């Protein structure tokens, strides 16, 4: 592993939005109703735990697939969680 990846970093702190950014998003979101689409944001938390999940399938390049297989062995990840 490259040494630069082993350096500890402080946690990322989100910067405050700029006035230009706020204006941009206010313009884009004017009239948006969060209750329209089935989004989790803008809806009350039910407080109930669910096991609802989803699956995403992607076709990986040969190089990406080889890397995932190598990392699977190095990290001892179960086969069913990789490509």
Over residues 20-64, the pLDDT tens digits come to 999 999 999 998 877 776 666 666 666 676 666 767 788 999 999
Q: Where is average pLDDT lowest: 9-13, 15-19, 25-29, 76-80?
A: 76-80
> Hey, where are the domains in the chain?
57-83
| Farthest CA pair distance, the chain | 50
1 confidence band (pLDDT: 50, 70, 90): confident
| pLDDT number for residue 17 | 94
**Pairwise pLDDT comparison (68 vs 48), residue with the higher score:** 68
- Full 3-state SS string of the chain: CCHHHCCCCCCCCCCCCCHHHHHHHHHHHCCCCCCCCCCCCCCCCCCCCCCCCCCCCCCCCHHHHHHHHHHHHHHCCCHHHCC
CB 34 within 8 A of CB 42: yes
């Amino acid at each position: 592993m490259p040494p630069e990846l082993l350096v500890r970093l402080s946690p990322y702190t989100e910067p405050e939005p700029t006035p230009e950014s706020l204006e941009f998003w206010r313009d884009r979101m004017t009239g948006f109703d969060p209750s329209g689409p089935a989004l989790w944001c803008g809806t009350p938390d039910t407080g109930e735990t669910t096991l609802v999940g989803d699956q995403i399938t992607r076709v990986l390049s040969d190089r990406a697939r080889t890397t995932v297989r190598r990392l699977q062995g190095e990290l001892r990840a179960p086969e069913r969680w990789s490509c």
